[in-house]
Structures are given as C-alpha cells and as structure tokens.
Structure 1
Amino acid sequence: MFPKNTFNSYLIVLAMCFGAIGMHSCKQKPLTHMIVMTQNKGDVESRDYSKGDKLQYMSGSRIVAMNTTTPNEPLDELTSDFYSACSPKISYDGNFMLFAAQKNQDDVWQIWEMNLHNKKKKQITSSDHNCIDPDYLPGERLVFSKEVKNKDPKVDTEFTLFSCNLDGSNLAQVTYDPSTYFASTVLSEGRVIAIGKELWPEEKPANFMIMRPDGTKKELFYQMEQDHYITSGATEMNNGRILFVEANSNNQKDLISLSYNRPLHSEENLTSEIKGDFHAISPYHDNKVLSSYRPENALHFALYEFDVESRELGRPIYEDGENNILEAVFVQKKQRPRKLPSEVDLNVKTALLVCQDINFQYSQPTDSTIPAFKASKMEVLGIDSTMAVFKTEKDGSFYIKIQADTPFRLQTLDDNNNVVKGPSSWMYLRPNERRGCIGCHENRELVPGNVQPLAVTKEPIPVPTPKQMDAPKRELKM
C-alpha cells in the first residue's frame, strides 16, 4: 500500500502525463478533407486593387469549414462570435489559421489566429487602424497590411506592410514608399509577393511587387497590361507557376499563370474560353486548384475544382443559393518557406546604392535623326524636394550612401540640368542594405556586366547632401 499522500501525488502525475500525451496527439492529428472558406451574402464587389485608396472589405462575411467527404452536412461556422471575418491562411503544419476580423460592426479590422482543432482564438494585432491580409512567415512570424495615416497631406492613407511575432510582439514596418500594399503571399523561397500601387505624385496601376520579409531588395515582379487590373492575391503551385485573378478591359475575370523564373514575360490566360468570373484560387490536389467561380448569368460564386494543366473547370464542390463562397483554402501540411537571412541593422542609419551606367537603358533610340542627349548628372528626388544632385563618373556610374527608410526617386540630367530620363518609380533602402543596378530603366532580366564601376573606387556620396550648390531650380510635380 502506498501512503495516502504518495498515492495521490502518483495519480496527479499520471493524469498529467496522460493529459499531455492526449494534447500532443490531438495537435498532431491531421485535419484531413477540410476546406475553410469565406462566406458572404448578397452581391460581392470584386476587389479592385487598382483603386489603391482602400480595400473593399467583405463586411458581414464569415469563415466556415466543410468536410469534402460529407459535403451535404451543414457547414461548421468557425467565426460565429465575429461580425466579419475573411482572408483565411493556413499554417505550414496545417493546425492553425490566420484571419482578419471585426469583433463588432464598428471595430477596425484586426489579425487573429485560430487553433483548428479546438477552435480557440487569440488576437494578434491591437491597432487603432485596420490590419488585414495576413500570411505566415517562417520563424513564428507573420506579414500583414496595416492602414497608415500619413503625416504628409499629399499621401493621405495607405496600407503598409508590417511583420510581427505570432503573439503580436516585435512589430516591424516593412515598406516605406508612398504606395499601398495588399494581399501578401509568402513564397516557398522565402520572399513576399504583394499587390503594390504607387499613390503619389499620381496614382499608378497596381502591380505585383516582391521583396524579402524585412523589406529589402524590393522590385517589380509582374506588370499588368493597360486597362487590366488585379483582383486577387498570388497563389504558388508546386510546379513553379504563380496564379492569380486578373480582370481585362471588359471586366472579364480570368485565371492568369506566370512562370516564377520569368514572370515579366510568361503570362498565360488559363480561362479565356470559360464564360463567367473567377474571384480567388488556392492549391488543392496535384495540378488542381480550388476556385471561387461564378458561371455566366449566375448570382453567386460557388466553389469549383479547376485543372491547371488541362484548363478544365470541374464539378462544383460546394454551392448554395444564398451565399457567395470565396477564398477557399484546403487544410493541409505544406513545406515551410526558407527563412532568409536579413542584412538590416537598425543601428545603422544609412544604406548603399551603386549604379554601373546611368545612360544604359532598356530601349535605345532607333531614329538617328533624333539627337541623343547623354546624361552626366544624377538627381535624387525626395517626397517634396531634391535630396541631392551630383556628377557621375566618366563611365556613367555612381555610388551613394543614402538615408535609410526614406523614399526617393532618381532622374538623370545633362550638363545644363535638363532632365534626360526620369523620374523612376519610388524606392527605399533599409538600414545597412546594399543594392546595385545596371542603369536607368534597364531590362529587368539583365545581370550586371563583369566590370568594376569607377564610382566604387571612391567614397560614396552622402544623400541628402549637406548643401546643394549645383541643384537645379525647378518645381517638383505634386
């Protein structure tokens, strides 16, 4: 016989062990055959990211789950205690879900995470402004879009990319230019692809931009044709294709495929022969995707299977006569993206940029009767003033040390301070970032020549410069 106290202690320890084993088994149990999706009543306006001023929130939406083996059973509502919920993203182990939600009708949108096994939820962001479009990053972090009220009245409101830990700590701003960013997707190679749109000095069409999770090395990934606009975030397939929904000038919304290896020159319309509209897609089985699709003359979007290889629309997986079925995601374990190293050092207040030749351009003039004006100077433009003007080296190269996390544009000048080419799109460099370019408006598929620019044999030019003795006197376009 055990003494009473010893026996009770033994029972407590034994219960704790069995409880821990049970909890671990529950967490590791795969959630097979589950699809989570956003459900919304009434008319659904397509997300037109070309507008740039705001996201068309899906007010009153909810996130539901279905079991594909029992499609006739009632849907399991996962967000019944929220006024609105959307944008579900599944963790890499398939056990958790990020989503954006309003707890009450007049609340701002916040980011939440749910344990899909027990439906317990935790709030991640606690901002005074809307936080939307989350996705998981490696290293127990996430990236999302946060509404920012700018101090500069020229750029009223934009959505800036931020990242933070899954408990909401260690919040970090990712983008710093006067653009708005939506619908982030973390690719398997570790970078973040998002819809970005310049807002100032004039609005430009939205395109896909790609960058590292710390905001470094931001560049154009895909540029739309004229009169087209993006209506969904990007989806990555196992075969190296990037899929998304794009609307043409006739407002036909089709699935577009890009090659990851050559996104600027590999666009394919997969559904041009299919009448009706697509809303969103996500990976499913093999070469198939889950697609939110509305047949021609139908009132609501339903959930369909689409074969990317054969370009055939399969049977409806789920539909009802009262709700739109949107943003469907198959719950499955997937490969965790690479965790890219970061060169950002917040103790460093500057960054470095080198250019090989400012006179190298993607398209050279073909008309010999048009005089060729050769640039000899570079002007660095800030939001409302010139940050620097300097002469380049004889080979057209320059090397600058610029204030970090400060938006700027570049344009080239001749000896008389006349503009030769520019201004460029907005750029920014993170603290301690080092970047290089071939020239101005160069072919984005070219790699630099194997030469040493003359500029790097000298100390970098500080930007902004202490005093602009040779600055051109011009009014910047507002």
Structure 2
Amino acid sequence: MFKKSPYTSFIPLLAIIVLVISVQSCKPRSLEGMIVMSQSQGDIDSPDYLSGNRWRHIPESRIVALNVNSPEEPLSVLTKDFQSACAPKISYDGNSMLFAAQQNKNDVWQIWEMDLHNLKTRQITSSDGNCIDPDYLPGDRMVFSKHEIINVATKEKGYTLYTSNLDGSNLARITYDPSTYFASTVLNDGRVVTIGRTLIPEVKDAKLMIMRPDGTKQQLFYQSEANHHLQGRVWEMDEGSIVFVEADANNEMDITSISYNRPLHSKVNMTSHIKGDFYAISPYQENKVLASYRSDKEGRFALYGFNTQSHELGTPIYKDGEYHVLEAVPVVKRDRPKKLPSEIDLNVKTALLVCQDINYSNKQSNDSTTLTNRANKLEILGMDETMATFETEEDGSFYIKVQADTPFRMQTLDGNDNVVKGPSSWLYLRPNERRGCIGCHENRELVPKNAQPLAVRKDPIPVPSPKEIDSLKRDLKM
C-alpha cells in the first residue's frame, strides 16, 4: 500500500502562507504617523513673491513620505507621475492629501487629491490658470488660489481665492479686490487666514488677511514691518498661538509667533538667536513643530524639530545632500474646524456698510470733536472713477448700499472738498453682506461706542450714486 508522505499536507499550507505574504506585500501600507514633505533639487533662493514662482509653486518639486520610526528606510516618492508637486495638506481624518501639481512640464498647475491608503490620485481643478495652495474646509470642500485677471481694464493678473467641493463642483470665487492671495490656512474657528498683497494702484507689502470661507467679514489679521516677507502658511498651535515663517529686509527667515486673541500686537521672533534660515513649519507634537532649516545659505534645508516653548532647535530628523526639505506635515488626525454659516444670498446684488464716525482714527489721541480739520464728506473710489460723494451725518456716520463683489476705497473730505484722510485699503462686500466699522483707520481692537449712528435712521445711500451712474452713461455715449 502507498504510504502518505508527512509533507503532503504541509505543501498546501505553505502555498497559502506564500500567497498571504505576497498579497500583504502588494497591499499599500498606510501612511498614518509618517511625515509627508515636499522636496526640490533646484534653486529656491530667488522666489517671486508676486507670481508665486519658486515660492508657492516650485518647478521639479516632489512629495515624499518619511517613516520616522524606521529612518533607515528609503523615502517613498508619492508623486512619481508628476513633473512637479508641492504644498501638501492632510485631511482632518488623516486619510487624504491635497496638493498642487504639474502633470507634465509647462502644464498649468492644478489641485489634486491623493488617497493615502492606496496612493491613487484624482484631479480636482481643470483651470486655464495656475491653481495652488489648497486646504481642506469642513463639509467636503476646499479653498485654494487661482491665477486670473483682477483688473479688466489693464488685464493685470493676480491670485484670487476660490472654494469648491472636493470633486471640483460648486466652484465659488470669494475675493474681489485687486490683491493677490497665497498660502491659505483654515483655522479652528472656521475662518481662512491668507497672505494678501495689494497690487493696484501700487504694489504694497504683504499682510495676513482673515475672512469667512464665503469671503465675508474680511479684515486685517497681522501686518509685517516694512519690506518683510511672509514666507508661507500659518499654523495654529494647541495653546492658542499662530506660528509662521517671516523674512526680514535682509531675507533672514525666522519663526514668528502671534496670539490668536491679539494678533496685531503680540509678535515674538522665536528664532532670532539661531543662526541660519527657516523655510516652513507645521505642528508636530505638543509644543513642537516640524521645521525646515539650514544653518547657512549655501546649504540644503533639512528637517528638524523646534520647541515653541523653550525656543530650542532639536537634532535633524532627516537630511539630504541632494534635495531641500521644504514643507513637511505629519499624517495624523486632527479636529475638524467649525463650519460657519453663510449670509450670502446670490439673488441679492447689493450689500450694506455702516460707519459710526469718519473722524475717528487710530492715529488721533484726542476726541474727534477737537480736530481742527474735521471731515464732513465721504468719497467712494472705484477702480477707475469716483462712485459717489456725499455728506455724512452730524455725528460723522454714514450708511451705504453698495454693489456686491465690487472693489472700492474711501477717503474723507472737508467742507471745501480737501482730502482729510487719504484712500483706505480696498474693500468689497459679498451679496447680502452687512458690515460695520467704527471709523477711518480705527484701532481694530476697539468695540463700537454704545450709540445708534444717525445715518441708520434713514435709508442707505446707493453706491454708485444715481448722479455718478448718469455721468457714466453720458461718458459712454460720447
């Protein structure tokens, strides 16, 4: 009789084990707990802060993943199929990543999303202008910057902010002034902080601007000193500070901290004692950020940890003699920001603005009634012409109804039509938006005085005024 070999039953078991190992080895590994970072071999030392070239979109850049628990492992290149890729941002659940990329050389930059479990990518935007700097919004939406014309008359271009669903649908423009916007970040309170720079009538230094995701309630958040540059995205720390990298007039790049509760008056340079430059940062662990840093301008940026409490720079996490390490973010879950309601009604073509007293200014030390050159008129300036001029109420208040999504500036005049305070920063109001201000160039930390402005007892003044509309029609006929 044939005797059964003891190995006969082992062979099928061995085959099953080999098959399981093979399947597991082919299965994509989760990137949870790893660090995703953008890298570049090329020149990053001559960034264009107006076009974003070599600053917010970097030719021949790539996105890689680093396993910090096994640093001896080679980096995983996540964007092999792209000519250039940068600006990674991780979703709140840690499962996906937004990034900006060129698929082929000379392509327009578009926004893409990657599934961090199977590493599959899908294109979100299909624009004829560069799309960069994406970030996740609550409700399966995102905010990003898009390059397009911001002045129809001059054909001048800049980056405007848009939002859309994560499949690219429901695209909505949210900024309408002649400024260019980069490096947006969504704060925990649901608002968007972005680097804004006025382009018209002249180029001005960049500021941090803050607004709701629908573009309403835009206002100044932080202003650098003259000739300083805001290097990249801001980040919110658990203890309530906002951190970012800022370059001074000599292009020395340091980590700056400001308070969320008092951003205009709380600046701290945390790395002035450290020789060298910082390129970008992001929250990592308690009181620690990931920082791309180099000790001299001839070297490559490497990845370090930086303690935001002790202001100490740690040992290198990753160094590469061939590539710069640029923006690095950990693949971790984080709290979803608040989803803010919107007052926008696209069926309404106007918006309302009320001011308590045009003679109140942050620069004055006395009560406005003591001013020798008191204004009693307001001039509304459009892109190319005066939109309206009118007298304010006795208390200096005004109440106007403006065309929505139309940029304008304001200046105050005296009884002889002399300018008392020159043009303000550009403003725009979204459809159905209602806004109020204390005065002209007022202290932004003050609350309004407890008094009803006289202007609100009447109907709002239309802007453009009927007189200016008639004048414009006559000019068009000529």
TM-score over 0.5 for the alignment?
A: yes
Q: Conserved in 1, the CA contact under 8 Å of 2:208 and 2:222? A: yes
Per the alignment, residue 401 of structure 1 pairs with 401
The letter of the residue matching 2:93 is D
Superimposed CA distance per residue, residues 26-69 of structure 1 (whole angstroms, 9 cap, x where no aligned partner): 99x974321000011033226453xx244433100000001110
Separation (CA, whole Å) in 2 of partners of 1:42 and 1:53: 18
Give the 3 Å change call, closer, same or farther, for CA 48–238 of structure 1 in structure 2: farther
Per the alignment, residue 272 of structure 2 pairs with 272
Separation (CA, whole Å) in 2 of partners of 1:344 and 1:92: 26
- 1:421 equivalent to 2:421? Answer yes
Give the 3 Å change call, closer, same or farther, for CA 48–290 of structure 1 in structure 2: farther
Give the 3 Å change call, closer, same or farther, for CA 46–293 of structure 1 in structure 2: farther
The letter of the residue matching 1:191 is R
Separation (CA, whole Å) in 1 of partners of 2:293 and 2:397: 51
The correspondence of residues 299-318 of structure 1 with structure 2, limited to 5 A, is: 299-318=299-318
Separation (CA, whole Å) in 2 of partners of 1:409 and 1:457: 24
Per the alignment, residue 94 of structure 1 pairs with 94
Tell which deviates more after alignment, 270-279 or 225-234.
225-234
Per the alignment, residue 82 of structure 1 pairs with 82
Superimposed CA distance per residue, residues 307-328 of structure 1 (whole angstroms, 9 cap, x where no aligned partner): 0000000010101111001100
The letter of the residue matching 2:285 is H
Q: Conserved in 2, the CA contact under 8 Å of 1:97 and 1:113? A: yes
SS in 2 for 1:467: helix
Q: Which runs of 5+ in 2 are unaligned?
A: 1-26, 472-478
The letter of the residue matching 1:241 is S
The correspondence of residues 186-265 of structure 1 with structure 2, limited to 5 A, is: 186-265=186-265
Q: Conserved in 1, the CA contact under 8 Å of 2:378 and 2:389? A: yes
Per the alignment, residue 171 of structure 1 pairs with 171
Shift of 1:227: 2.4
Per the alignment, residue 347 of structure 1 pairs with 347
Superimposed CA distance per residue, residues 150-208 of structure 1 (whole angstroms, 9 cap, x where no aligned partner): 45243611000000000000000010000000000000000000000000001110010
The correspondence of residues 128-147 of structure 1 with structure 2, limited to 5 A, is: 128-147=128-147
Shift of 1:230: 1.0
The letter of the residue matching 1:465 is S
Shift of 1:376: 0.4
Give the 3 Å change call, closer, same or farther, for CA 120–414 of structure 1 in structure 2: same
SS in 1 for 2:450: coil
Separation (CA, whole Å) in 2 of partners of 1:53 and 1:119: 30
- 1:453 equivalent to 2:458? Answer no
Q: Radius of gyration: which is bigger?
A: 2
The letter of the residue matching 2:291 is S
Q: Which runs of 5+ in 1 are unaligned?
A: 1-25, 472-478
The aligned length equals 441
SS in 2 for 1:135: strand
Superimposed CA distance per residue, residues 111-147 of structure 1 (whole angstroms, 9 cap, x where no aligned partner): 0000000001110000011000000000000000000
The letter of the residue matching 2:235 is T
Separation (CA, whole Å) in 2 of partners of 1:386 and 1:470: 13
Q: Conserved in 1, the CA contact under 8 Å of 2:83 and 2:105? A: yes
The letter of the residue matching 1:384 is D
Per the alignment, residue 335 of structure 2 pairs with 335
Per the alignment, residue 113 of structure 2 pairs with 113
The letter of the residue matching 1:103 is Q
Q: Conserved in 1, the CA contact under 8 Å of 2:91 and 2:97? A: yes
Q: Conserved in 1, the CA contact under 8 Å of 2:282 and 2:289? A: yes
Q: Conserved in 1, the CA contact under 8 Å of 2:134 and 2:143? A: yes
Q: Conserved in 1, the CA contact under 8 Å of 2:195 and 2:209? A: yes
Shift of 1:235: 1.0
Separation (CA, whole Å) in 1 of partners of 2:341 and 2:371: 47
Give the 3 Å change call, closer, same or farther, for CA 116–123 of structure 1 in structure 2: same
Q: Conserved in 1, the CA contact under 8 Å of 2:150 and 2:177? A: no
Separation (CA, whole Å) in 1 of partners of 2:138 and 2:36: 22
SS in 2 for 1:133: strand
Superimposed CA distance per residue, residues 267-287 of structure 1 (whole angstroms, 9 cap, x where no aligned partner): 000000000100000000101
Shift of 1:294: 0.8
Identity of aligned residues (%): 65
Which stretches of structure 1, 4 residues or more, deviate above 3 A after TM superposition? 29-32, 46-49, 468-471
The letter of the residue matching 2:169 is S
Tell which deviates more after alignment, 88-97 or 64-73.
64-73
- 1:373 equivalent to 2:373? Answer yes
The correspondence of residues 6-25 of structure 1 with structure 2, limited to 5 A, is: none
Shift of 1:470: 13
Per the alignment, residue 8 of structure 2 pairs with none
Q: Conserved in 2, the CA contact under 8 Å of 1:155 and 1:200? A: no
SS in 1 for 2:264: helix
Shift of 1:354: 0.2
The letter of the residue matching 1:379 is E
Q: TM-score, normalised by structure 1?
A: 0.89
Separation (CA, whole Å) in 1 of partners of 2:249 and 2:160: 28
Per the alignment, residue 21 of structure 2 pairs with none
The correspondence of residues 146-161 of structure 1 with structure 2, limited to 5 A, is: 146-150=146-150, 152-154=152-154, 156-161=156-161
Give the 3 Å change call, closer, same or farther, for CA 276–93 of structure 1 in structure 2: same
Per the alignment, residue 324 of structure 2 pairs with 324
Separation (CA, whole Å) in 1 of partners of 2:236 and 2:381: 36
The letter of the residue matching 1:289 is V
